[in-house]
Amino acid sequence: MIERYIEQVSTYASDIDGLITLIGVIVGFWFVLVEVVFFGLIVAFREKKGVKAQYITGEEKHQKRWIGIPHELVLLCDIVIIIAAVRVWVNVKQTQPPAQETVRIIAQQWAWSFVHPGPDGKLDTADDIKTVDELHVKVNTVYHFKLEARDVLHSFSVPVFRLKQDAIPGRVITGWFKAKRTGVHDIQCVEICGIGHGLMPARILIQTPEEYGTWQAAQAATASK
Amino acid sequence: MAQPAEEHGHSHEGHDHAHGDDHAHGDHGAGHGGHHEEGFVKKYLWSCDHKMIAKQYMFTGMFMGIIGGFFSYAFRMQMAYPGHNVPGFGVVSPNEYNALITNHGTIMIFWLAMPVLIAAFGNFLIPLMLGCDDMVFPRINRLSYQIFLLSALVLIASWFVPGGGFGGAWTAYPPLSAKAQYNLTPLGSTLWVIAVALEFVAFLLGGINFVTTAMNSRAPGMKMFDIPMVVWMIVIASILFMGSVGPLVAGAVMLVFDQTVGTGFFDPVRGGDPILWQHLFWFFGHPEVYVVLLPAVGIVAEIITVFSRKKLFAYRTVLYTAFGTGILSFFVWAHHQFIAGIDPRMANVFTATTVLISIPIAEMMFVYVATLYGGSIRLTTPMLWALAFIAEFMIGGVTGIFLGASGSDIYFHDTYFVLAHFHYTFVPIAVIAVFAGFTYWFPKMFGKMMNETLGKIHFWGTILPFNGVFIPLFITGMGGDHRRIYNYQNFPELATQELANLRQFATVSLLILLAFQFVFFINLIISLLNGKAAGNNPWRANTLEWTTVSPPPHGNFAQLPTCYRGPYEYSVPGREEDFWPQDQAT
Amino acid sequence: MQKPIATLRSATGISTGKLAVWWVLASEIVIFGGLLCSYLMHRLGHPEFGDYAAHTNTTLGACNTFVLLTSSYFAVRAHFEAEHGRGPQAAKWLMATIGGALMFLCIKSYEWTHEIREGFTITRNAFWSFYYCAAGLHACHVIGGAIIMGIIAADAAKNRELQRVELVGIYWHFVDVVWIFLFPLLYIAK
Ligand code: HEA
Ligand code: HEA
Ligand code: CUA
Ligand SMILES: [Cu+2]
């Protein structure tokens, strides 16, 4: 359902969208069923002259069945939903494939700073490339990000990746993503962080290794000048 | 609030009869005093009478609801027409925007839903439905309202202090809420916490009365399963509230210390933990949503049985589902924190508990639908509201499952999908069920009937636009709109014409919705002034409040009733009448 | 104001007043429970809390435990007298209980003065914040309890509302029990 409104750019976006569709089908079925029965009964049992309502306690076995059977079916549906949800969750949040690249993301009131490894490929060395409100990544590469906050809570969200993670001052939170297509997309801050919360957008630039290499070289050159 | 002049006459009578009744049933009461004329202050402002306190809560809640609705008008206009002047408000600045949504959420939950659904209906109905003359502790009851009023005044005051009202969202996550240097509202944020804490105290005090009255003061003969469902629900809700709010009361104290004294409970730099607040908040926050849900569901149970002339299908099952929901609700809180940095393994547990809570609630809904079967349904205004509650709440309920599933919540968290989800639960509760209850018990409260035609115009004028507001917001949420953003133009992917159109559609629907609220207030005023006299039991209902005059006098009943059967004996075979009041021996 | 009939009914067989007291206690238990759980979570995550706790005065804390337990015993005596309809005696025992409360508060203020002098203020670190918060909240309950006991003792001396002596006793035992949790958590577990 979601892909109609927003592209799938990370490897796990389709898993998440698939889960949403699955839940949509299951609860959609129940929803329609209950509403149809509900309106059907209202129409069928409108007040009629001379017809008295029936006396049904709902306490007898054959009556309780009408509640009991749906009850068990809902339980069954719940189990399916839980299993599907946990599978996606474990893949996206609980486990991480080995990193090919690592970036540091720092949120503060009201800007994003990104630290990319320099030509040496390592973070926290002298040649790191720092940018503000612009994250550069290579396509088809497993990235680990180290998310930090300077002051209050923020939340790092890339809707096209279906990725979201709160940033907490005093902690470094690691997560991962792998972009499967090049392009330029929004990064949002989705945790209220004060007056400028609505002014905290950033952009993610997903580039081919060549483009990325050129950008990196140019940055390294300006830095050494 | 026109009270007929003969009230005191009745009161006098009630006094004598109560005495007789008293001895017959082994109560050793002194009966009720009240021979002298009460002054205005004593009667309206300083009353210990549960019905007056109920009205005080009702009208305070209504007043706050109007403010909360006005706030939603102001910020929705800003969202649809960013930067434009909002008629009646002015241009909405970013910090005003934050203060508006924060206080909108806070007001709607704590100063509209809670006082009206629990305190107003609870105060009005519990003594009347149980067949006694008042709450067990009238003075604690009065104190509860006074603290509540104070809390409302503190909240209102917080908007006018230097720096303005608090804008850190109703969830008030620290460090933003804890430090003035971050939220820039040094006074507003402290007053906000104090107001909320006072409100909690008021409801803890109120709960004493609700629970003890229901346990101890039932009419002779009224057994556990003869108690009307709405009373059960309000009592369970009070217990749920009491069981969950404690840690947040402690948390509020800690937050105020962080703000004013400079402690570091939630400050990571000083060894504190910001996530701790989230746990304290949601450990309360999630049960809280069922605290307001249950009374609403109780109101709906009363109304659909009366207007379909049916016994409630499987009374005990409804009760057990309420218990089940209540118990489970203590184990789901972290579904608000899936991506907040908690241990990812914990999310799996909370996904399971959260999705499983659909079972008791689904069962409750099935029971209500089953109750309609074989009925003789009359679509009066209260019935329309009650049926609309079921139909609309279902949307809110099933969309909760998308959020409870941890995998999909990664995407939906803090988007407008969440927002639409909870407005589809809260508006049915705090608006639809409130109007259902209000129109249903209005004749008893004021002795007058409301106008049905105006009532139905108001109903359709609210229900249709309500869907027009929030269906589009589900879609913007799926498109990536996130919450608490005063202007989406700053996000290129959200600045599209398609999304902007949806936002405008929602806002225009809201304007229509608000316009139709005037119909309600007109109806309210003309019905109060010259509505048709209601008589004791206009709806031909069974429960005890309908056996006394409308409005009930001081002391409630001329003679305290005895209860002979359950509350839902409608259309019993072999009886001439299709109802059988609880106090009739045969 | 006269009591409504509702107050005098008792469908459960338990008096309304007692139900109300249990309700108050239950809500208090969750409040203190929340505070103590928060403290425990911090404590488990911060081993250094043990070192800070070493600066508390365990001897005086133990003294206070003893004072509170003794005062609880007085409350039991007050209840016993009230049961037998001896209001004035009950009032005397209640006064003794209040004496215990005052003693507790005196010791507490002595402790706090010392600690604050040594620089262990509420803003020093998370341990001391919890220390003052939890003990302070408890002290508020001690003060509140003492005031209520005073009012009830005045009534009891005139043989009025004797059932309330038992109710305030229950509350007082609760205040006592809270301290029994606070004492090891804040003072001893180093
Ligand atoms: C009264 C209000 C109310 C109610 C009743 C509910 C009910 C539910 N809520 Fe909702 N919720 C809120 C108010 C409410 N919620 C609020 C205010 C927030 C946001 C707070 C904030 O961040 O500001 C929120 C947020 C929220 C989140 C967090 C989202 C996020 O921030 O990321 C989640 C996640 O699990 C959730 C889940 C649920 C679930 C599973 C239910 C369930 O109880 C629903 C159960 C009902 C049904 C499922 C329908 C009936 C069943 C059937 C028709 C049978 C078929 C069903 C199946 C087969 C499953 N809610
Ligand atoms: C009970 C809860 C409740 C109710 C009823 C509402 C009602 C409405 N809400 Fe609200 N809302 C919240 C709870 C509620 N909301 C919460 C908790 C938040 C989150 C805040 C945060 O993020 O911190 C929120 C946030 C929120 C936002 C998000 C802002 C943002 O994130 O940027 C929006 C946006 O459209 C919105 C819109 C509306 C609208 C259009 C209504 C309309 O339905 C309003 C129409 C108003 C009325 C129809 C009032 C009628 C009632 C009466 C007059 C009382 C009658 C009384 C008696 C008869 C006794 N709400
Ligand atoms: Cu940063 Cu919101
Ligand atoms: Cu929840």
- β-pairing verdict for A154-158 and A163-167: antiparallel
* B14 in a structural domain: no
User: Is residue B25 predicted with pLDDT exceeding 50?
Assistant: no
Of the pLDDT bands very low, low, confident and very high (cuts 50, 70, 90), residue B43 is confident
* Distance of CA B331 from the midpoint of ligand 4 (Å): 10
Identify whether the C-beta of residue B234 lies closer than 8 Å to the C-beta of residue B190: no
Identify whether the C-beta of residue B324 lies closer than 8 Å to the C-beta of residue B236: no
Interval C50-99: pLDDT, tens: 788 888 888 888 898 999 999 999 999 999 988 888 888 899 999 999 99
What integer pLDDT is reported at residue B11 of this predicted model? 37
pTM of the model: 0.93
DSSP C3: P
The whole-angstrom separation of Cα B340 and Cα A127 is: 32
User: Is residue B36 predicted with pLDDT exceeding 80?
Assistant: no
* B4 in a structural domain: no
User: Is residue B560 predicted with pLDDT exceeding 50?
Assistant: yes
Contacts of A102 (CB under 8 A, 6+ apart): A117, A123, A143, A144, A145, A146
Interval A1-40: pLDDT, tens: 788 888 999 999 999 999 999 999 999 999 999 999 999 9
The whole-angstrom separation of Cα A77 and Cα A29 is: 11
List the single best residue of B348, B410, B415, B475 to mutate versus A (max A Cβ within 10 A). Answer: B410
User: Is residue B2 predicted with pLDDT exceeding 50?
Assistant: no
Rounded to a whole number, what is the distance in Å from the CA of C36 to chain B's nearest CA?
9
Q: How far does Cα B38 stand from its chain's mean position?
A: 31
Tokens representing C45 are 């995550």
* B420 in a structural domain: yes
Helix H or strand E segment including C107 = helix C87-117
Mean pLDDT of chain B: 89
Domains defined for chain C, CATH in brackets: 17-188 (1.20.120.80)
Identify whether the C-beta of residue B106 lies closer than 8 Å to the C-beta of residue B72: no
Rounded to a whole number, what is the distance in Å from the CA of C183 to chain B's nearest CA?
18
The whole-angstrom separation of Cα B204 and Cα B214 is: 16
Which stretch of A121-130, B218-227, B288-297, B306-315 has the lowest confidence by average pLDDT? A121-130
**Chain B residues near residue A84 by CB distance under 8 angstroms:** 405, 407
Say if B and A touch: at least 3 Cβ pairs within 8 Å: yes
Q: How buried is residue B498: exposed, middle or buried, by Cβ count under 10 Å (0-12/13-18/19+)?
A: exposed
The whole-angstrom separation of Cα C36 and Cα C181 is: 9
Which stretch of A86-100, B21-35, B315-329, C158-172 has the lowest confidence by average pLDDT? B21-35
Identify whether the C-beta of residue A154 lies closer than 8 Å to the C-beta of residue A167: yes
Q: What is the mean pLDDT of residues B336-363?
A: 93
Identify whether the C-beta of residue B77 lies closer than 8 Å to the C-beta of residue B110: no
What integer pLDDT is reported at residue B271 of this predicted model? 80
* Domain region containing B130: 52-547
The CATH number linked to B402 is 1.20.210.10
* B24 in a structural domain: no
Identify whether the C-beta of residue B559 lies closer than 8 Å to the C-beta of residue B16: no
**Chain B residues near residue A20 by CB distance under 8 angstroms:** 402, 408, 411
State whether the Cα torsion B360-B366-B372-B374 is positive or negative. negative
Helix H or strand E segment including A73 = helix A61-89
List the one residue out of B348, B139, B318 whose CA is nearest residue B228.
Answer: B318
- CA-closest residue to ligand 1 atom 13: B422
User: Is residue B14 predicted with pLDDT exceeding 90?
Assistant: no
What integer pLDDT is reported at residue C125 of this predicted model? 83
Q: What percent of chain C has pLDDT over 90?
A: 48
Mean pLDDT of chain C: 88
User: Is residue C189 predicted with pLDDT exceeding 70?
Assistant: no
What integer pLDDT is reported at residue B41 of this predicted model? 73
Of the pLDDT bands very low, low, confident and very high (cuts 50, 70, 90), residue A224 is low
Contacts of A25 (CB under 8 A, 6+ apart): none
Interval A175-210: pLDDT, tens: 999 999 999 999 999 999 999 999 999 999 999 999
DSSP string, B351-392: HHHHHHTHHHHHHHHHHHHHHHTT--B---HHHHHHHHHHHH
CB–CB contact A6 B414 (8 Å): no
Spatial strand order in the sheet of A173-178: A129-132, A111-116, A101-108, A142-149, A173-178
Pocket test for ligand 2, best of B431, B432, B483 (most atoms within 8 A of CB): B431
ipTM: 0.94
Identify whether the C-beta of residue A106 lies closer than 8 Å to the C-beta of residue A131: no
Q: Does B573 touch chain A (CB under 8 A)?
A: yes
Tokens representing B61 are 């809640």
Number of H helices, E strands in chain C: 7, 0
Q: What is the mean pLDDT of residues B42-63?
A: 88
DSSP string, A99-161: PSEEEEEEEETTEEEEEE--TT--SSSTT-EEEESEEEEETT-EEEEEEEESSS-EEEEEGGG
**Chain A residues near residue B173 by CB distance under 8 angstroms:** 152-153, 191-192
Residue of chain C minimizing CA distance to B221: C11
What integer pLDDT is reported at residue B78 of this predicted model? 94
* B3 in a structural domain: no
Q: Does B43 touch chain A (CB under 8 A)?
A: no
- Length of chain B, in residues: 586
Interval A103-151: pLDDT, tens: 999 999 989 999 999 888 888 888 889 999 999 999 999 999 999 999 9
**Chain B residues near residue C123 by CB distance under 8 angstroms:** 261-264
Identify whether the C-beta of residue B297 lies closer than 8 Å to the C-beta of residue B390: no
Cβ atoms within 10 Å, residue A175: 19
Instruction: Give CA separation, B526 vs B59, B69, B475, B515, in Å.
Output: 17, 23, 40, 18
CA angle A88, A90, A92 (to 5 degrees): 65
Domain count, chain B: 1
Reduced to 3 states, what is the DSSP secondary structure of residue C165? helix
Residue with tokens 């045969």: B586
Tokens representing C48 are 């250094």
Q: How buried is residue B344: exposed, middle or buried, by Cβ count under 10 Å (0-12/13-18/19+)?
A: middle
Q: What percent of chain C has pLDDT over 70?
A: 98
Shortest-distance ligand to the CA of residue B484: 2
* B428 in a structural domain: yes
Identify whether the C-beta of residue C32 lies closer than 8 Å to the C-beta of residue C178: yes
The whole-angstrom separation of Cα B163 and Cα B93 is: 13
E strand segments, B40-123: 85-86, 90-91
Q: How far does Cα C73 stand from its chain's mean position?
A: 13
What integer pLDDT is reported at residue B37 of this predicted model? 57
Name beta bridge partners: A103: A145
DSSP B222: -
* Distance of CA B476 from the midpoint of ligand 1 (Å): 19
Interval B437-448: pLDDT, tens: 999 999 999 999
* B169 in a structural domain: yes
Domain boundaries, chain A: 2-94, 101-224
Identify whether the C-beta of residue C131 lies closer than 8 Å to the C-beta of residue C186: yes
Amino acid occupying residue B376: S
The whole-angstrom separation of Cα A157 and Cα B407 is: 15
Tokens representing C112 are 């706090």
The whole-angstrom separation of Cα B75 and Cα B90 is: 11
DSSP B73: H
User: Is residue B221 predicted with pLDDT exceeding 80?
Assistant: yes
E strand segments, B210-306: none
List the one residue out of B70, B122, B64 whose CA is nearest residue B545.
Answer: B122
Interval B71-92: pLDDT, tens: 999 999 999 999 899 999 999 9
User: Is residue B293 predicted with pLDDT exceeding 90?
Assistant: yes
The whole-angstrom separation of Cα B94 and Cα B97 is: 5
Amino acid occupying residue C41: M
Q: Does B330 touch chain C (CB under 8 A)?
A: no
Contacts of A26 (CB under 8 A, 6+ apart): A77, A80, A81
E strand segments, B129-176: none
The whole-angstrom separation of Cα C169 and Cα C165 is: 6
Q: Yes or no: is domain A101-224 CATH 2.60.120.560?
A: no
- β-pairing verdict for A134-138 and A101-108: unpaired
Name beta bridge partners: A6: none
**Chain B residues near residue C37 by CB distance under 8 angstroms:** 247
Identify whether the C-beta of residue A13 lies closer than 8 Å to the C-beta of residue A160: yes
What integer pLDDT is reported at residue A45 of this predicted model? 93
Interval B487-541: pLDDT, tens: 998 899 999 999 999 999 999 999 999 999 999 999 999 999 989 998 899 999 9
The A residues from 57 to 116 touching B (CB cutoff 8 Å) are: 57-59, 63-64, 66-67, 70-71, 74-75, 78, 81-82, 84-90, 92-94, 109
What integer pLDDT is reported at residue B52 of this predicted model? 92
Work out the angle between the directed axes of helices B434-446 and B274-308 (0-180°, nearest 10).
Answer: 60
Shortest-distance ligand to the CA of residue B398: 1
* Distance of CA A166 from the midpoint of ligand 3 (Å): 10
The whole-angstrom separation of Cα A74 and Cα B10 is: 53
Name beta bridge partners: A149: A107, A169
